[in-house]
Amino acid sequence: MTQTIEELFQENKVPKFRLKQLQHAIYKDLITDYDEISTFPQWLKDKIKEAKIPLTTMELIESHRSGNTVKFVLKTHDGHFIESVLIEHKDERKTVCVSCQVFCAVGCKFCATGANQYRRNLTTEEIVEQVLFVSRYLKHQEVRVTNVVYMGMGEPFLTYKPVSESLLMLNSPDYFNIGARHIVVSTSGIVPRIYDYAEIGIQAKLAISLHAPNQKLRSEMMPISDRYPLDDLMKACDYFVEKTGKRISYEYVLIGNVNDQIEHARELVELLIDRKAHVNLLVYNPHEFADYKMPMEKDVIAFRNYLKTRGIEVTIRKSMGDDISGACGQLSGKQLDKKKNKAVFAQREFFDGDLEIKDKSKSPAKA
């Protein structure tokens, strides 16, 4: 097995401050080769290179741009492919959507990630490295990653330790210095971890994949709701808000004729009206693993308007830049497949308009 850098430093009696310099070179200067470390003597660089210690545990296989979105396919040391997504917003924001597991064991019925067999949790380093690879990609533009969302492959609250550690590293001035308010963890509702997250000590945000306004429908769409029923989930959310003062973002994927009717909107208003909530409506992204349909555009607009006129803050993920959850629901850890990408981006174009004022009641969108 390859030596670690710590072992090599110990063996060669390298003083501790060199580790700090290395950390700076990797996370601040974003070096891609040890030769670029300006603070290291040549003999030390040669020693590290001789020992063949890799700079990162993962390898970038490909990056693929479509409009404002760039997908990165990374290969782990044990041969798994994972995906991260960069969204370059129209404003200054550069958001990275990170994965935390290789596939997911939760098995939500509408999700491509969940349809594949769960393999393993990613390590803290593997989560942080995803932001590192994207940062390197952005280096030539002289811009930095500003936001990170845990909305890629996997359920963050089923792998809490690496997720919370990576989150603190992303926030730390020694690493990426990303403002806690610009970090969002999204969960399908692993109740005990919501209580833990409320105590994490930094102002990171919480998104809940709600997707249904009542226990029965939620259970049908998300079997995890049998284990952690909606009532318990809402109690945990109330605790989070009370403890942190932060508003929660509720994700609601509109699926044609499943949860997209006015009766569902009515129930959703009842559930959220007295809560500090923001609703993010996503449009179902069709994929090969499920039989669901996209909603009609007129139903999406009616749903949004119903919530809005009753005082619920609501947005539709409409532009390429904002449309990350839908894309993330499609992550299947394979190298990119043109057909699948087409479905993702077709949906983005569909909602890349100003839905605030237009209600053209178009025909159903095609994938």
Q: What residues are labeled active site? A: 83, 328
Cβ neighbors of 86 (< 8 A, separation 6 or more) are 69, 70, 71, 72, 94, 95, 96, 97, 134, 137, 138, 145
Identify what 259 binds: ligand SF4, ligand SAH, none; CB under 5 to 8 Å per kind: none
- Binding-site size, ligand SF4 (CB under 6 A): 11
By CB under 6 A, tell whether 319 contacts ligand SF4: no
Nearer to ligand SAH, 253 or 312 (CB): 253
Nearer to ligand SAH, 89 or 139 (CB): 89
Q: Identify the residue whose tokens are 């999406």.
A: 300
By CB under 6 A, tell whether 114 contacts ligand SF4: yes
* Piece of the chain touching ligand SF4 by CB under 6 A; list 9-17, 56-64, 103-111, 123-131: 103-111
Q: Is the dihedral of CA 152, 206, 117, 212 positive or negative?
A: negative
Residue 16 and residue 31: Cα distance in Å, rounded? 20
| Residue 210 CB, nearest approach to ligand SF4 (Å) | 11
Nearer to ligand SAH, 153 or 265 (CB): 153
Identify what 284 binds: ligand SF4, ligand SAH, none; CB under 5 to 8 Å per kind: ligand SAH
Residue 241 and residue 345: Cα distance in Å, rounded? 34
Nearer to ligand SAH, 83 or 251 (CB): 251
The residue at minimum Cβ distance from ligand SAH is 329
Q: Is 162 helix (H, G, I), strand (E, B) or coil?
A: helix
Please give the radius of gyration of the chain, using alpha carbons only, rounded to the nearest integer.
Answer: 22
Return the bridge partners of 97, or none. 85, 149
Residue 351 and residue 348: Cα distance in Å, rounded? 5
Nearer to ligand SAH, 157 or 176 (CB): 157
Residue 314 and residue 305: Cα distance in Å, rounded? 9
Span 253-312, contacts to ligand SF4 by CB under 6 A: none
| Residue 102 CB, nearest approach to ligand SAH (Å) | 13
| Residue 190 CB, nearest approach to ligand SF4 (Å) | 9
By CB under 6 A, tell whether 14 contacts ligand SF4: no
Which of 289, 270, 365 has the alpha carbon at shortest distance from 330?
A: 289
- Helix ranges (H only) for the chain are 5-11, 17-27, 42-50, 112-115, 124-139, 160-171, 191-197, 215-221, 224-227, 230-244, 262-272, 297-309, 324-328, 338-350
| Residue 252 CB, nearest approach to ligand SAH (Å) | 8
Written as one string, the DSSP assignment of 301-345 is HHHHHHHHHTT-EEEE--STTTTHHHHHTT--SSSP-HHHHHHHH
User: Residue numbers of the site for ligand SAH (CB under 6 A)?
Assistant: 104, 108, 110-111, 151, 155, 186-188, 209, 251, 253, 282, 284-285, 287, 325-326, 328-329
By CB under 6 A, tell whether 113 contacts ligand SF4: yes
Burial of 43 (0-12, 13-18, 19+ CB in 10 A): exposed
| Residue 188 CB, nearest approach to ligand SF4 (Å) | 4
Span 155-214, contacts to ligand SF4 by CB under 6 A: 155, 188, 209
By CB under 6 A, tell whether 83 contacts ligand SF4: no
| Residue 103 CB, nearest approach to ligand SAH (Å) | 11
Torsion on CA atoms 293, 298, 299, 301, rounded to nearest 10: 120
Identify what 251 binds: ligand SAH, ligand SF4, none; CB under 5 to 8 Å per kind: ligand SAH
Identify what 107 binds: ligand SAH, ligand SF4, none; CB under 5 to 8 Å per kind: ligand SF4
Q: Among 67, 107, 223, 229, indicate the residue that binds ligand SF4 (CB under 6 A).
A: 107
Provide the CA 362 distance to its chain's centre, in angstroms: 30
Binding residues for ligand SF4, rule: CB under 6 A, are 104, 106-108, 111, 113-114, 154-155, 188, 209
